[in-house]
Chain A
Amino acid sequence: MTKTFTRKKIFFCAVILLVTFIMLIIRLSYLMIVKSDYYYEKAEDLHQRERSIKAKRGIIYDRNGVELAGNKPVCSISVIHSQISDADKVVTALSEVLKLPEENVRNKVAANTIREKIKSNVDKETADVIRKMDLDGVMIDEDYKRYYPYNTLASKVLGFTGADNQGIVGLEVFYENILSGKPGSILTLTDANGIELENEAEGRIEPVPGDDLYTTIDINIQKYAEQAAKKVYISKQAKRVSVILMNPQNGEIYAMVNVPEYNLNEPYKLIGANTTGMTDKEKQDALNQMWRNFCINDTYEPGSTFKVITATAALEEGVVSENDIFNCPGFRVVEDRKIRCARTSGHGTETFRQGIMNSCNPVFIDVGARVGVERMYKNYDKLGLFEKTGIDLPGEANSIMHKKENVGAVELATMSFGQSFQITPMQLLRAASAVINGGKLVTPHFAMFSEEHDSHERTILDFKERSGVIKKDTSEKMKDMLESVVSEGGGMKGQVPGYKIGGKTATSEKLPRGNRKYISSFMGFAPANNPQILGIIMIDEPVGTYYGGTIAAPVMAEIYENILPYLGIEADYSEKKIKETMGRIYIEEGD
């Protein structure tokens, strides 16, 4: 047996040991309980590789739920070097099926990278062929590509998306936040060399699909308007034909046409132009030009259609009444300038109403002068002509007006019949809406509501309205006078049998003057007493006859003839109406 002190010492040491063990356990507990989350997160960061999953982009529908912009499943094919067992077979198969040069594929297969993309945007059928081959090391990832089922339909309104499905122009970019959604990600665990581990639970953050967007566009109206515009675009060999059709009561746009439209599925293909010999910059400029939406991106001199605004201002200010008598000798001298009327022989003595019907410049020069600059600008302002319309499309232009202090008698006179300043067609249409809807300044727009992808929860998109910008009485008078423009005046070719149409024609010579380049336009609404639709058509640089009343008004009449019944506006074939209409046809034929 050992001595007592030996045993005591051994026991003493053992106790010290025990204490040390307990201290280590405390240290471990601290690391594994208190600091656990901290180290766990750090370790996860180290182990996880993130691959992002594109979110499905929201669909753009027309007002009836017809898909205007959707998603087409496509695949991207890539190879994983370390998993390839038979490189030659992979090279031959991929180059054959994907129609790629064999050398190209071989280089990518040989590249010692973790993942090499062979081709993206491969359609599903082709990808399925490859999938059936069951090649080791070939990965097929599904993806979505933006797809426009109607190709050219409303191209300048819808716009298109880029490689990452991000909106580039049009509604696609304006409603990017609604449509894009949130991309998700796949988190895979990897070892220290970055090799993904199999059989490890993948962390997956699901992508949030974008919300669908329901627009005010009506595909049938849009199609019909496009067809009509295209017809006149060809027959008049015009540079461009634009049509806007909207609801003047609330600003909903049914159709916006800019012929020539381009194919949204091939937005980088220039139409009607030879790209060979073009520098990249020239080509890009040409593309930008092709993508432009004339209705909102560009300004023009509205010409006679603007007389609607002048007449409204005059009635608003009470400086004129329907039956006031004016005299037109075919011109008017303002200060040192002799301003001609369209009819050089003059309209003679006429009432204000007749002045509008005849689109007589001297009448409007006189009326404008009566209103005066101050009050004229006040009315322009009330009708929103100094501001952008607030339409939900990017790149909207604003009007170019004289500074008020620079407006002399000559400027006022020319402005009264729509010259010497520029506005966008959309601004004109918005102002005209207020004139005919009883004085409500609406915001023209395309979006109606967005719909959440899963819950189908709808969010109504609101647009500003300003009521009472003009008096109801003024509005009533204007509707009545504009109806007579179509029924008896210069806009007679805008008539639609069975319907009361109000409207105003215009023929504006483009700047610089004297080049004999015109924009012929017609702005019309129906039914004239309670307008449900307001439209404008602009034919840019027509060849041959260029009078708005002759070439633009019939196109709008043709459009209305079809879409008014479609909109549920019933025709009224009362005896008087038929007689009038028949009479017109008879007279024309007899002419």
Chain B
Amino acid sequence: MAKRRPTPVRGNKKRKKSITEKPIYFDYQFLFLVLFLVALGLVMVYSTSSYTADLKTGSPYFYLVRQGVFAVVGIVVMLLTARIDYHFWKKFSLAMIVVAIVLLGMVIVVGKAVNGSSRWIALGPITFQPSEVAKIAIILFTAHMATIKAARIGDIKILVKVALFPMVATALIAVENLSTAIICAAVVFMIIFITSPKIKQFLLLGLGVVALMGIFLIVASYRLQRIKVWLAPEKYEDGYQTMQALYAIGSGGIFGKGLGQSIQKLGFIPESHNDMIFSVVCEELGLFGAVCVIGLFALLIWRCVIIAMSAPDLYGALIVVGVITHLSVQVLVNIAVVTNSIPPTGVPLPFISYGGTALLGLLLEMGLVLSVAGRIKIPKEY
């Protein structure tokens, strides 16, 4: 896939350009970072899940195999997406967001409950999270609408037109999963913020959101409980998971106990291969390893930023901004939760945490970024 040699052009003869036209440029640095993170994710999923998987399912590879299948499929999907001109998605973005909204509606009605909240939907043998589909749909749709209405984005009516469907989807996600909804809202917000030449309004909006959150926290008492747990996790039963994560992080020290040597993963941290996986990274690889992992994310995001800034058009830039927002908010929230820097909420760590749909969705997004990157026109003299 990543060959520089021209490949036979397949595609619709009616079009001037094929949608699978060979990209001008392929961002190998970006690809490397993604593949490295996926590989690291597989290692950590195996490390964290093998002991409990062996006890529960009889096979230590249970979670690794499932995640591995998704990783392989996801990489194929990513590379395919990279070949497809991102403008191809313009036509389907409305359909996608509608489908996403329908799926999100379905999940509320017929969703399959896993771990207490119904976020999954079963399609034959495959269960997947519609919210992952929705994230991509929201990025593509909002980017598309914002590009079209870029000139008049300051108009409230236009703004509503751009943001209506994404916000509906976000609201539906919020019913079951507040943290994912916050990520989606952040994506929409960032795309519009980047599109608009204004700054003041957004700062006001930002303040408004903060104020609303404050009111929400005061009104919803169980969230307040969460605040109490956050401030003193050792005093509450609900703080168990947080305390276990802190034990893991703290006992890692500077160089960690060594890969595979975590004790906290042996049932002390519930489902340590999920949201709390970063604490095991800290325990096994130490501060050194943890900073390396954060560094990988930072590099990846920085690469995205470069791509966004040099994107051939606004649409491409906005897609990448959406992906950056999704990726970075998720990384920040996850690490902040694991280190008890913010009140606990369940957000997986991109690429590393166990979760097939999430990995597939992320790799697809990476494919989009690669697609944008591939169409950057590099000046000859550069």
> Which residues of A18-32 have CB atoms within 8 Å of chain B's CB atoms?
18, 20-21, 24-25, 27-29, 31-32
Check if B253 is an interface residue, CB within 8 A of chain A: yes
Interface SS, A side: helix
User: In this assembly, does A36 line the interface, its C-beta being within 8 Å of a C-beta of chain B?
Assistant: yes
**CA gap between A1 and B315 in the complex, in Å:** 10
> How distant is B316 from chain A, measured CB to nearest CB, in Å?
8
- Any chain B CB within 8 A of the CB of A197? yes
B301 and A11 contacting across the interface, CB-CB below 8 Å = no
Query: How far, in whole Å, are A37 and B297 apart by their CA atoms in the complex?
Result: 28
A47 and B332 CA atoms in complex are apart in Å by 30
A274 to chain B, nearest CB (A): 59
Asked whether, in the complex, the Cβ of A33 is within 8 Å of the Cβ of B302, the reply is: no
> Is B247 touching A43 in the complex (CB atoms < 8 A)?
yes
Which B residues are in CB contact (< 8 Å) with A25?
291, 294
* B289 → A minimal CB distance (Å): 10
The answer to whether A193 has its CB under 8 Å from any CB of chain B is yes
A566 at the A/B interface (Cβ < 8 Å)?
A: no
Interface centre among A20, A35, A37, A44 (most CB of B within 10 A): A20
Judge if A40 is at the interface, Cβ distance under 8 Å.
yes
Contacting residues, chain B, for A43 (C-beta < 8 A): 247-248, 250-251, 263-264
Instruction: Flag whether A336 is at the interface (Cβ < 8 A).
Output: no
B183-201: which residues lie under 8 A (CB-CB) from chain A? 190, 193-195, 197, 199
Residues from chain B with Cβ under 8 Å of A17 in the complex: 301, 324, 328, 332
Interface residues of A in 31-51 (CB under 8 A from B): 31-33, 35-40, 42-44, 46-47
Chain A residues with CB under 8 A of B64: none
Interface presence of B369 (CB below 8 A): no
A2→B318 CA distance, assembly (Å) = 10
A residues less than 8 Å from B51 (CB atoms):
191
User: Contact residue range for chain A?
Assistant: 35 or more
B272 to chain A: closest CB distance in Å? 10
Collect the chain B residues with CB atoms within 8 Å of residue A3's CB: 197, 314
Near A by CB (< 8 A), chain B positions 319-334 give: 321, 324, 328, 332
When the two chains form the complex, which single residue of A13, A32, A40 contacts B287, counting CB atoms closer than 8 Å? A32
Q: B346: CB under 8 A from chain A?
A: no
Q: What's the Cα separation between A41 and B260 when bound, in Å?
A: 20
* Assembly CA distance A459 to B107 (angstroms): 81
Using Cβ atoms and an 8 Å threshold, which residues of chain B touch A44? 251
Complex Cα spacing A256 to B328, Å: 86
Do residues A13 and B190 form an inter-chain contact, with CB atoms below 8 A?
yes
The one of B290, B317, B328 that contacts A32, using a Cβ cutoff of 8 Å = B290
Chain B residues with CB under 8 Å of A1's CB are 312-313
In whole Å, how far is A486's beta carbon from the nearest beta carbon of chain B?
79
Interchain CB contact (< 8 A) of B294 among A11, A24, A35, A197? A24
Which B residues touch A31, using CB under 8 A? 246, 249-250, 282, 339
A14 at the interface (CB under 8 A from B): yes
- Interchain pairs with CB closer than 8 A, number: 122
Interface string of B90-119 (1 = CB under 8 A from A): 000000000000000000000000000000
Q: Which of B197, B249, B267, B286 contacts A192 (CB 8 A)?
A: B267
B287 contacts A6, C-beta separation under 8 Å: no
Q: What is the distance, in angstroms, from B206's C-beta to the closest C-beta of chain A?
A: 12
Task: Tell me the nearest residue of chain A to B51, going by C-beta.
Answer: A191
Contact B267 A191 (CB under 8 A): yes
Residues B241-256 near A (CB distance < 8 A)? 246-254
CB within 8 Å of B: which A332-364 residues = none
* A189 at the binding interface (Cβ < 8 Å): yes
Give Cα distance in the complex from A31 to B51, angstroms: 26
The A-contacting residues of B in range 263-284, CB under 8 angstroms, are 263-264, 266-268, 282
CB B101 to nearest CB in A, in angstroms, measures: 28
Residues of A within 8 A of B250 (CB): 31-32, 35-40, 42-43
Q: Which residues of B contact A18 (CB under 8 A)?
A: 298, 302
Quick check: is A5 within 8 A (CB to CB) of the other chain?
Answer: yes
CB–CB B247/A32 < 8 A: no
* A9-B193 contact, Cβ under 8 Å, with A27-B339, A39-B251: yes
Contact A192 B287 (CB under 8 A): no
At the interface, yes or no: A10 with Cβ under 8 Å from chain B?
A: yes
Bound Cα distance from A531 to B217, whole angstroms:
95
Set of chain A residues within 8 Å of B160, measured between Cβ atoms: none
Query: Which residues of B lie under 8 Å from residue A402 when comparing CB positions?
Result: none
Chain A CB within 10 Å, residue with most, of B195, B250, B254, B313: B250
Known: A31-B339, A32-B253, A33-B287. A46 touches B247 (CB 8 A): yes
* A24:B339 contact, CB within 8 angstroms: yes
B282 cross-chain contacts in A, Cβ below 8 A = 28, 31-32
Check if A7 is an interface residue, CB within 8 A of chain B: yes
Whether A193 lies near B253 (C-beta < 8 A) is no
Q: Which of A14, A18, A38, A193 has the most CB of B within 10 A?
A: A14
Partner of B305, one of A14, A27, A29, A189: A14
Residues of chain B lying within 8 A (CB to CB) of residue A20: 332
Q: How far is the CA of A2 from the CA of B287 in the complex (A)?
A: 39
> Which of chain B's residues 299-317 have a Cβ closer than 8 Å to chain A?
301-302, 305, 308-309, 311-314, 317
Q: Check: B59 CB closer than 8 A to any chain A CB.
A: no
Other-chain contact of B341, A27, A33, A47 (Cβ < 8 Å): A27
Choose among B246, B247, B312 the residue with the greatest number of A CB atoms under 10 Å from its CB: B247
In whole angstroms, what is the CA distance A543 to B321 when docked?
Answer: 114
In the complex, which residues of chain A have a beta carbon less than 8 angstroms from the beta carbon of B210?
Answer: none
Min CB–CB distance A370 → chain B (angstroms): 84
Check A10/B194 contact, CB under 8 A, given A21-B298, A32-B250, A36-B250: yes
Closest-by-CB residue of A relative to B291 is: A25
How far does the alpha carbon of A575 sit from the alpha carbon of B324 in the complex, in Å? 122
Q: Within the assembled complex, what's the spacing in Å between the Cα atoms of A2 and B372?
A: 13
Contact B339 A10, beta carbon cutoff 8 Å? no
Whether a CB of chain A sits under 8 angstroms from the CB of B335 is yes
In the complex, what residues of A have CB within 8 A of residue B291's CB?
Answer: 25, 28
Q: Are A11 and B287 interface neighbours, CB within 8 A?
A: no
Q: Which residues of A contact B248 (CB under 8 A)?
A: 43
Instruction: Provide the residues of chain B in CB contact with A6, threshold 8 Å.
Output: 194-195, 314, 317
In the assembled complex, the CB of A82 is this many whole angstroms from the nearest CB of chain B, namely 12
Q: Does B212 contact A (CB under 8 A)?
A: no
A21 touches B332 (CB 8 A): yes
- Asked if residues B193 and A24 are in contact (CB atoms below 8 Å), the reply is no
Which chain A residue has the least Cβ–Cβ distance from B298? A21
Given contacts A43-B251, A191-B266, contact A32 B286 (CB under 8 A): yes
Separation of A577 and B309 alpha carbons in the complex (Å): 127
- Asked whether A36 lies within 8 Å of B301 as measured between CB atoms, the reply is no
Does B336 interact with chain A (Cβ within 8 Å)?
A: yes
Distance in angstroms from B281 CB to nearest chain A CB is 10
Q: Check B328–A11 contact: CB distance below 8 A.
A: no
CB-contact partner of B308 in A10, A21, A36, under 8 A: A10
CB-CB < 8 A to B246: which residues of A? 31, 39
User: In the complex, A40→B252 CA distance in Å?
Assistant: 8
Residue pair B339, A28 in contact (C-beta under 8 Å): yes
Q: How far is the CB of A450 from chain B (nearest CB, A)?
A: 42
Known: A7-B309, A11-B309, A32-B282. A2 touches B335 (CB 8 A): no
Q: How far is the CA of A13 from the CA of B199 in the complex (A)?
A: 12
* B324 / chain A contacts, CB cutoff of 8 Å: 13-14, 17
Given contacts A31-B250, A33-B287, contact A47 B339 (CB under 8 A): no
Contact A192 B195, CB 8 Å, known A31-B339, A33-B254, A47-B263 = no
Extra contacts, 14 of them, besides A28-B335, A39-B251 (Cβ < 8 A), are A11-B309, A13-B324, A14-B324, A17-B324, A18-B302, A20-B332, A24-B339, A27-B341, A28-B249, A28-B339, A29-B287, A31-B250, A46-B268, A192-B267
23 A-B Cβ contacts within 8 A?
A9-B194, A10-B308, A13-B190, A17-B332, A21-B294, A21-B297, A24-B294, A24-B332, A24-B336, A27-B336, A27-B339, A28-B282, A28-B291, A28-B339, A31-B282, A32-B254, A32-B282, A33-B254, A36-B252, A37-B250, A39-B251, A43-B251, A47-B263
Interchain residue pairs A-B with the least CB separation, the first 9 = A39-B250, A192-B267, A191-B266, A43-B247, A40-B251, A32-B287, A14-B305, A43-B251, A7-B309
